[in-house]
Amino acid sequence: MVLTRQTILVFTPDGRAVPEVVSRWGGTRGIALLRVADATEVEQRVLRSLPALVLVDADGTGAGGLALCTRLKADPYTAIVPLAAWSSRHTTERVQEWFAAGADEVITPLFEPQEQAGRLDGLITRAARDVAVNPSTRLPGTTEIEREVRRRMDNGELFAVCYADLDHFKEFNDRYSYYDGDRVINLLSRILHDVVKGMVQQRGFVGHIGGDDFIFVIPLDEITPVCTEVLSVFDALIPYQYSEQDRRAGYYFGKDRRGQLHRVPLMSLSIGIVTNQHRRFSHPAQVSELATEMKSYAKTQAGSVFVVDRRRDVDHGEEG
CATH of residue 183's domain is 3.30.70.270
Q: What is the pLDDT of residue 2?
A: 46
Number of domains in the chain: 2
- Closest by CA to 97, choosing from 60, 72, 65, is 65
Taking the CB of residue 258, how many other CB atoms lie within 10 A of it?
6
Give yes or no: residues 181 and 239 share one domain. Answer: yes
Q: How confident is the model at residue 5 (pLDDT cuts 50, 70, 90)?
A: low
- 167: helix, strand or coil: strand
Sheet containing strand 53-57, edge to edge, reads 32-36, 7-11, 53-57, 83-86, 105-107
pLDDT for 154-188, tens place per residue?
A: 999 999 999 999 999 999 999 999 999 999 999 99
Tens digits of residue pLDDT in 273-283:
999 999 999 99
Q: Are 154 and 16 in a shared domain?
A: no
Q: What is the pLDDT of residues 225-257, one digit of tens each?
A: 999 999 999 999 999 999 999 999 999 998 777
Burial of 82 (0-12, 13-18, 19+ CB in 10 A): buried
Give the confidence band of 114 by pLDDT, cuts at 50, 70, 90. Answer: confident
Whether 22 and 82 map to the same domain: the answer is: yes
Query: Looking at residues 76-89, what average pLDDT do you find?
Result: 86
Which residue among 131, 165, 187 closes a domain?
A: 131
pLDDT tens column, 15-35: 777 878 888 888 888 888 889
Q: What is the mean pLDDT of the chain?
A: 89
Alpha-helix residue ranges (DSSP H) falling in the chain: 20-28, 39-49, 58-74, 76-79, 92-101, 113-131, 142-154, 169-175, 178-200, 223-237, 244-249, 284-298
| Average confidence (pLDDT) over 254-262 | 78
Residue 4 has a CB neighbour count (10 Å cut-off) of: 12
Q: 179 and 281: one domain?
A: yes
Task: Return the CATH number at 43.
Answer: 3.40.50.2300
pLDDT at 318: 46
Could you give the CA distance from residue 200 to residue 86 in angstroms, rounded to a whole number? 45
User: Do 152 and 125 have their domain in common?
Assistant: no
User: Domain boundary at 131, 153, 187, which?
Assistant: 131
Residues 47 and 69 in one domain: yes
Structural domain span for residue 162: 142-316
- pTM to 2 decimal places: 0.72
